[in-house]
Structure 1
């Protein structure tokens, strides 16, 4: 019984720390910080080393961030001056198929000095890895609102890419600048998500 209580306390502490850190990281984000991408834009972005959870299916994705943050806090030798960054996801899917077949990678940036994957218990079919997300030229835009309202923003970005003489050269990516908070009521209309694609110059003339 004592062991169960201790484990429960540890889990509670991790949850509280997660809420505090994520609140400080994303809770204060505002539209004003992203004025330059309120409309679609081509930018250059450096590669990032990431701690990544991989799986299949929208349900597994929704449950993945708890495991991701839990693993992040178990990283050994994390530099004290490294500030946790906003989480991201990449999708490898055909939107015309069932969402339980969509493959995803959910990740958070880590320092280049980290090479050891934290040891955590994961569900069957879910993996935890360290990898580098390559970027280069990207097209991105800020979406304001709920995740179920993203389609017009995505279509606007894709049209911008084509009209600018580019084509998509990587998976669909989302960066969750401001979203739902654990145990705290939130307004989906105020969620901030960066929609992003790696791009390259199109070989087909418009």
Structure 2
């Protein structure tokens, strides 16, 4: 049985250079998603959202393999981050952030499968975020991205370079939410070794 792995199928999108910004075209993807607000380091809603996403993702993997004979690697956690002022990201004003946490899904996963898997997980563990897990279809199109190595809080210089230097030098501006892809498990990886894809949808000024 072939095992689908989005990181291998779309390697260019999940393994960018850490040296320079690159422009990519991101096609339509489908995600498990949960929306929320606030500092991810302190918000119980954020912790519940991440736990719910992983719980449902692994339940879907099991169901897909058992009932459809189609297996896949559970994709890394991703996040869409937004704020009224984009400088909130550079300044790390986390209490003002809205977020949508994501896990990429193969195109054969359906809404019904997600609802059934979320209900099965809810029987085993009480988590209010399970009721909010939904399927999100997202087409980001033209994006600029780079691989960040190090602590999440050390992203500021890279984001400042992107927003205040790369954008004006290339005639670009924002065209969607700031997107992060967490390639490392922060529970097992020292902060200085974390790998995170920083992605920003863009358009010409």
| TM-score, normalised with respect to structure 2 | 0.72
The secondary structure found in structure 1 opposite 2:56 is helix
* 1:166-185 equivalent positions in 2, closer than 5 A: 166-181=172-187, 184=188
- Matches of 1:190 and 1:55 in 2, distance apart? 27
The number of aligned residues is 169
Q: Which residue of 2 aligns with 1:39?
A: 20
Structure with more helix by fraction: 2
Q: Which residue of 1 aligns with 2:192?
A: 189
Once superposed, what is the RMSD of the aligned Cα atoms?
Answer: 2.7
Structure 1's consecutive aligned runs of 4 or more residues displaced over 4 angstroms after TM superposition are none
Q: Which residue of 2 aligns with 1:201?
A: 204
1:111, distance to aligned residue in structure 2 (A): 1.4
The secondary structure found in structure 2 opposite 1:108 is strand
- The answer to which of 113-122 and 159-168 deviates more is 113-122
Aligned: 1:84 with 2:74: yes
- Matches of 1:167 and 1:70 in 2, distance apart? 36
The secondary structure found in structure 2 opposite 1:139 is strand
Change in Cα spacing, 1:124 to 1:174, as seen in structure 2 (3 Å) is closer
Instruction: Write out per-residue CA displacement over residues 96-137 of structure 1, whole angstroms, 9 at most, x where no aligned residue.
Output: 796334221111111112122232453379721101121111
Aligned: 1:160 with 2:160: no
Q: Which residue of 1 aligns with 2:53?
A: 68
* 1:137-148 equivalent positions in 2, closer than 5 A: 137-148=142-153
1:140, distance to aligned residue in structure 2 (A): 0.6
Change in Cα spacing, 1:160 to 1:187, as seen in structure 2 (3 Å) is same
Change in Cα spacing, 1:61 to 1:38, as seen in structure 2 (3 Å) is farther
The secondary structure found in structure 2 opposite 1:113 is coil
The secondary structure found in structure 1 opposite 2:202 is strand
Asked whether the equivalents of residues 16 and 197 of structure 2 are also in contact (C-alpha less than 8 Å), the reply is no
Return 5+ residue gaps in structure 1 as ranges.
1-24, 27-32
Asked whether the equivalents of residues 146 and 188 of structure 1 are also in contact (C-alpha less than 8 Å), the reply is yes
Asked whether the equivalents of residues 17 and 147 of structure 2 are also in contact (C-alpha less than 8 Å), the reply is no
Q: Which residue of 2 aligns with 1:104?
A: 99
Change in Cα spacing, 1:198 to 1:126, as seen in structure 2 (3 Å) is farther
The secondary structure found in structure 1 opposite 2:33 is strand
Which of 31, 34, 55 in structure 1 is aligned with 2:36? 55
Asked whether the equivalents of residues 18 and 148 of structure 2 are also in contact (C-alpha less than 8 Å), the reply is no
Asked whether the equivalents of residues 16 and 22 of structure 2 are also in contact (C-alpha less than 8 Å), the reply is no
